[in-house]
Amino acid sequence: MQPFDSYEKFLDLQRYVSWGDDDQQRISAVRERLLARSTVIIEDFYAEIRRHPFAAKVITGGEPQVAQLKSTLRQWLRQLLTGPYDRDYLALRSRVGQKHVSIGLDQVYTSTALSRMRNGLIRLLTEDWQETPDELYLTIESLNKLLDLDQAIIEDSYQTAFITQSQNLSKENLQLRVALEREQRSTHIIGACEPMMAVYRLIERTAATDKPILIQGESGTGKELVAKALHRASRFAGKPLVVINCAALPENLLESELFGHEKGAFTGAIASKPGLFEVADGGTLFIDEIGELAGGLQAKLLRVLEDGSLRRVGSVKERRVNVRLLAATNRDLGKEIEKGRFREDLYYRINVLTILLPPLRERRGDIPQLARHFAGKGWNWESRFMQILENYSWPGNVRQLRNAIERAKVLAEENTLIAENLPPEIWRSGNEKDILTPSSEADLETVNRAHIADTFRRHSGNKARTARALGISRRTLYRLLEKHDIEEDAAQ
């Protein structure tokens, strides 16, 4: 049998090879040696290929590197025929397999690329071969072996690696997409009511100024969100936005967080640390709950605002920073000044312009849009769910709305948000007017009817679930619905 049978494309090599009788024997011997040796060669081969990322292209395309590659390849191929074979093929194969994985993933080697490489290599070897035809024959045989072996391994390991890789990638993609969506959703200000439109206009208009801005509003109205939008709209947009919440830290810690400290400034100060003013240098510092700032720190803050200078705790060295300040508070700072708790001069410094965020109860029209935004794609709700949201007073504002929806999502059986899965205080508020507190005048019939209608509505008009909740059969429920003239529409 012709040794090149399986490589139709290279049959013409016979031109260069004179076959002797003992060819078959020699070939088998070479095969054995090859098998033992090829893994060593493969390693070198791949090391080189890695240095020439597009080796396949180089070989077939006649690029300038061809000469160099050609001589390297020749050297290896010659080694195949002459060198000692001292490695365990299988062990190496698995190691080589791993290498292929990295090659496959880095350069997306495909079988097509390999077969192009094989064609290219053989053409190149035969073009100006100066050794005997036997040597050429053996060399080419070695090459074919090498590439066959290689192909088998590559197909194995590449496929596995590719599958794992693409699974990982799509998982990673999904995670990134979700994170991005969350990030976009979390920095997206929702609301189209007039007070929010006024907020948007102010954000736009303040884009050109570097002056401090005070954002006022109850807790959860979106002050931090507005701060992020102000930062994005400003010329500092590409720089860091550093956020600190004054209510979250005791005074001494807050001082070192804001202004930094030197090593040994206080017990536990084992190294010097820059404060957030330094971290935010060139960018924006958002001080949330500025109304909580203690007197001493107010003075220090005033100094930075006045001339951009500060001293780390435990240091005498003056440092200069250029930071745009945004501050937020849910307190009435005017009243805090009256009570002597907030410095008037600092107030005027930070309050060059105030953005006032309305509480959610004063912008109920935005509730459905906000709810849709927090629910996200693929969620529905019963109409009663939305009714309750729209009627509730929302003392915790948008944050409370977001949490309520998260809760309803977690508890939802399918992709439908139902009123019962809202936090009890919200859900109860929706039922207050229907709640069964039978007055002395209410007769049993009225109480019964209200109870049935309410249960029916809570179960979104689902008769099976309503019957189960009332502890009656479905047939009895039909009868009662008819008797009390409770319509399905009423449940929607």
Note the residues at the interface with ligand ATP (CB under 6 A): 186, 189-191, 217, 219-225, 288, 328, 330, 370, 398-399, 402
CB 329 within 8 A of CB 289: yes
CA distance 47 to 350: 62
CB 281 within 8 A of CB 238: no
Q: Alpha carbon 255 to chain centroid distance?
A: 33
> Tokens representing 139?
């060399």
Question: Shortest gap between Cβ of 345 and ligand ATP (angstroms)?
Answer: 24
Amino acid at 441: E
CA distance 49 to 226: 53
Nearest CA among 290, 288, 276, 293 for reference residue 227 = 288
Q: Could you give phi then psi for residue 381, rounded to 5 degrees?
A: -145, 155
Amino acid at 193: C
Question: Shortest gap between Cβ of 371 and ligand ATP (angstroms)?
Answer: 11
Residue with CB nearest ligand ATP? Answer: 222
* DSSP structure string for 416-457: EE-GGGS-HHHHHHHHTTT-----TT--HHHHHHHHHHHHHH
Dihedral of CA 419/422/424/426: which sign? negative
Whose Cβ is closer to ligand ATP: residue 13's or residue 290's? 290
Residue 288 CB neighbour total at 10 angstroms? 21
Question: Shortest gap between Cβ of 373 and ligand ATP (angstroms)?
Answer: 6
Question: Shortest gap between Cβ of 221 and ligand ATP (angstroms)?
Answer: 5
CB 45 within 8 A of CB 145: no
Whose Cβ is closer to ligand ATP: residue 398's or residue 481's? 398
CA distance 154 to 97: 7
Phi-psi region of 101 (alpha: psi -120 to 50; beta: other; left: phi over 0): alpha
Could you give the C-alpha distances from 467 to 419, 436, 471, in angstroms and in order? 18, 18, 6
Question: Shortest gap between Cβ of 211 and ligand ATP (angstroms)?
Answer: 20
Whose Cβ is closer to ligand ATP: residue 220's or residue 430's? 220
Could you give the C-alpha distances from 243 to 10, 257, 258, 287, 329, in angstroms and in order? 69, 11, 10, 6, 13
Whose Cβ is closer to ligand ATP: residue 124's or residue 242's? 242
Question: Shortest gap between Cβ of 246 and ligand ATP (angstroms)?
Answer: 10
Amino acid at 371: A
Question: Shortest gap between Cβ of 115 and ligand ATP (angstroms)?
Answer: 55
Residue 486's Cβ-side half-sphere holds a number of Cα atoms within 13 Å equal to 24
What Rg value do the Cα atoms of the chain yield, rounded?
38
Whose Cβ is closer to ligand ATP: residue 40's or residue 214's? 214
Which residue is listed with tokens 């496959």? Answer: 104
Whose Cβ is closer to ligand ATP: residue 158's or residue 286's? 286
Question: Shortest gap between Cβ of 346 and ligand ATP (angstroms)?
Answer: 19
Whose Cβ is closer to ligand ATP: residue 218's or residue 262's? 218
Helix pair 397-411, 367-375: axis angle to 10 deg: 50
Question: Shortest gap between Cβ of 330 and ligand ATP (angstroms)?
Answer: 5
Nearest CA among 137, 123, 129 for reference residue 56 = 123
Whose Cβ is closer to ligand ATP: residue 225's or residue 353's? 225
Question: Shortest gap between Cβ of 450 and ligand ATP (angstroms)?
Answer: 36
CA distance 342 to 335: 9
CA distance 286 to 213: 10
Question: Shortest gap between Cβ of 410 and ligand ATP (angstroms)?
Answer: 16
Amino acid at 115: S
Whose Cβ is closer to ligand ATP: residue 45's or residue 381's? 381
Whose Cβ is closer to ligand ATP: residue 124's or residue 254's? 254
Question: Shortest gap between Cβ of 215 and ligand ATP (angstroms)?
Answer: 8
